[in-house]
Amino acid sequence: MIHENGQEVCNHGSERTSHHSEKLKNNLITRLNRIEGQIRGIKGMVEKDVYCDDILNQIAAVQSALNAVGRLLLEGHMRSCVIERIQEGDHEVIDELLKTMNKLMK
């Protein structure tokens, strides 16, 4: 089933998967590749004994970028998987979503 935003909805049987649109998947991969590069950069900064405040600023940038990826995934999840499962009468998805959101907000 395809959601109106172009994202296929998640299966929630024995194998849980998510099928993102190619546009969203490419966006997420691009962001994650950038974050991966930032992490390598931070490692290099530590190895070169760069001033701590500069390293901490880079860590803050990585955390912000990772939070943005999490928000995109959460939005897609809520607009597809969660809605579908509620419509099917599976209200346990709310508890699952709340647990996930608590983990994201730590």
pLDDT at 4: 46
pLDDT at 40: 98
Answering whether pTM is above 0.75, one says yes
pLDDT at 13: 52
Along the chain (106 residues), what's the average pLDDT of each consecutive run of 10 residues?
48 61 91 98 98 98 96 91 93 95 90
pLDDT at 18: 67
Using CA atoms, how far residue 87 sits from 3, 82, 84, 101, in Å, is 13, 9, 5, 21
Q: Provide the β-strand partners of residue 8.
A: 2, 19
Start-to-end CA distance of the chain, whole Å, equals 33
pLDDT at 34: 98
pLDDT at 11: 54
CA dist., res. 22 & res. 13, Å (int): 23
CATH superfamily of 8-104: Metal-sensitive repressor, helix protomer (1.20.58.1000)
Place of tokens 């001033």: 51
Q: Where are the beta strands (DSSP E) in the chain?
A: 8-12, 16-19
